[in-house]
Structure 1
Amino acid sequence: MLPSPPDIETRVFARVPEELQAEERPSRWLDQLGRVLGRTARMGSFLEGPSFDRDGNLYLVDLAHGRIFRVSPDAEWSVVADYDGQPNGLKIHRDGRIIVTDQQNGLVEIDPVNGKVTPFLPADLIHGYKGVNDLFFAENGDCYFTDQGQMTGLQDWAGRVMRYTPAGRLEVVLDKVPSPNGLVMNLAETTLHVAVTQMNAVWRVPFLDEKAVKVGVFTYLMAGIGPDGLALDTEDNLAIAHPGNGQVWLFDPHAVPIARLVSCAGKLPTNVAYGGPDNKQLFITESETGTVLVADLPVPGKPMYSHM
């Protein structure tokens, strides 16, 4: 048995303002979700993809309604883009461009100034496309992303992890993954961690000469929907958003749990990102209530690609 880790308190940083709630707005993504759940699904927002720019602004996606939000350090909300899409993951490039994994359109690029949306890697260029989910930029500019789709799971091991290089080369790193989701590399960038939602596990994907080898399980989680977003700190500890039971786990590099962050809002923490003073706060998108939570941690997060 693994030891029970100490709890770290969370608090509310910001909530989607009432005027930005879009519960009555049509949503193809919510219609698809409703068919899976067997009931009507209506939400004013569904937050995902937290990422900070160099000015301390927090960018978020609204998967349900095709919007990109910006939240200032003072928790003021604005809409950067509102378009026909299903944005899920979001990372900021070194040159300031916002790159989004859009389940409907593939990877898109968003101008943070004028909100213009343009293709980065369109869906029709991704052979066997299912629906991209999340992304991660390695230090050399390689873009790793998950092609999850709505239906991959233990009945359909068709999800994939892919790599798109700055030279424009697209590669399948790993296939036959039941619902791949969030992903992040270790500090040495020799191993990729991948949240495999429907297996309720995080996989470890080591590389040898850019090829995945000896892929195994980093950790299994108990209960909940399964892991979603991931983030890393400067000591190689891994933060794992675990929706369905309102928790974020912190594991050391040997997969020993060292802390548990319990949501003070709803039960759907979907993704995580480090930010705040000294990069020692973990920000959490809690999608059931449209809330961003924050917790103080003793170890700073690894700087994002945009800050390197």
Structure 2
Amino acid sequence: MKTIDAQVIYRTQAIVGEGSLWDHDNQRLLWVDILAHKIYAFDPKTKSNMGFDIGQDVGTVVLTESGLWAFADQDGIGYLNPKTGKIKSGPKPEVNSPNVRFNDGKCDPRGNLWAGTMAYDVSEGAGTLYEFDSLGGVNKKIERCTISNGLVWSSDRTKFYFIDSPTYVIHQYDYDEFTGEISNKKVVAGISKEIGLPDGMVIDSEDHLWVALFYGGKVIRIDPKTGKIVYEVALPVPNITSCAFGGEDLDELYITTASHMMDKEGLEKYPLSGSLFRVKVPFKGVLPHKMKNHF
């Protein structure tokens, strides 16, 4: 199995960098710093990193067909106009749950945003994976999660993959593109606790899964047909949170990291914690789905 090294592309000390997503139309990376309340747009050509303060914890960001950015914040979703900085509120299913916040999320092939929650104290079973549709509807997809995290859909739109981090497994569901229903849950890969906690996830054009390993210092590529790790990207920091394919040819892997809960000694040992990284890989990604919206 081959291992290659990622290089820092933007040095910063994000608390919890997350939610990386490639904006192909503008050739930039969208990402968030959850606990700093920030959504960022990083331009790899100019190395600029434009930030927007959402005013509360923000778990993920996705593109919409209208050009707005949809995001999952502490208690629901909202929409940001990146040209004006104005925010429009969306459905807030967790408005009465101050101990819970939204975490990772992505758009499905139907143009709906799926985003999940977790408790601040990581209480077991306190999280829910929600689906937000373009008309303001909210559906519960998976209940009693602990840390709702990485999620992707297969290229033929028949499979949905999901990570509830403390289970240390990747679950596969059958996915119905016409109804959005998921069924027939099964484990397709297990992650050894010794190599790290599975966090964010992205899928490539060969339907292999790339999983960021918190505490593990790497991103692993998994063949869901065998459950085996077939490729690795190593980083000089321990807490890897998400990854996204980008670049003109979608053959560059962008990776977010975290400095959260690291003490002074840890930050001195791993001074690049919280930075953005990038590596060119011999594989290609796929474009992320955009959210449909009615405004």
Interval of TM-score (by shorter of Structure 1 and Structure 2): 0.7 to 0.9
CA contact (8 A) 1:201 1:226 kept: no
Q: Secondary structure of the residue that 1:198 maps to in structure 2?
A: helix
> Which of 16, 28, 36 is residue 57 of structure 1 equivalent to?
28
Partner of 2:172: 204
CA contact (8 A) 1:146 1:182 kept: no
Q: Closer, same or farther in 2 for the Cα pair 1:249/1:75, shift >3 Å?
A: farther
The offset of 1:46, in angstroms, is 2.6
**Aligned residue type for 2:276:** V
The offset of 1:205, in angstroms, is 2.0
RMSD of aligned Cα (Å): 2.4
**Aligned residue type for 2:105:** L
The offset of 1:282, in angstroms, is 0.7
CA contact (8 A) 2:122 2:146 kept: yes
Partner of 1:259: 231
The offset of 1:73, in angstroms, is 2.1
Partner of 1:303: 287
Partner of 1:41: none
Provide the TM-score with structure 1 as the length reference: 0.81
Instruction: Give CA deviations for 1:59-115 in whole Å, capped at 9, x if unaligned.
Output: 22121211222211225234331242101211111222111111x242121111122
Structure 1 gaps of 5+ residues are 22-43
**Aligned-partner Cα distance in 2 for 1:72–1:307:** 22
**Aligned residue type for 2:224:** P
**Aligned-partner Cα distance in 2 for 1:226–1:174:** 20
**Aligned-partner Cα distance in 1 for 2:191–2:212:** 11
**Aligned-partner Cα distance in 2 for 1:164–1:105:** 13
- Tell me the number of residue pairs that the alignment of Structure 1 and Structure 2 aligns: 274
CA contact (8 A) 2:70 2:79 kept: yes
> Which of 194, 205, 208 is residue 237 of structure 1 equivalent to?
208
Structure 2 gaps of 5+ residues are 260-272
**Aligned-partner Cα distance in 2 for 1:235–1:191:** 13
Partner of 2:105: 135
Partner of 2:270: none
Higher relative contact order (CA 8 A, sep 6+): 2
Q: Secondary structure of the residue that 1:64 maps to in structure 2?
A: helix
**Aligned-partner Cα distance in 2 for 1:171–1:110:** 22
Provide the TM-score with structure 2 as the length reference: 0.84
Identity %: 20
Instruction: Give CA deviations for 1:124-171 in whole Å, capped at 9, x if unaligned.
Output: 579999321111112221221112232445xx2232222122233321
Q: Secondary structure of the residue that 2:135 maps to in structure 1?
A: coil
The offset of 1:56, in angstroms, is 0.8
**Aligned residue type for 1:193:** Y
**Aligned residue type for 1:48:** E
**Aligned-partner Cα distance in 2 for 1:85–1:171:** 23
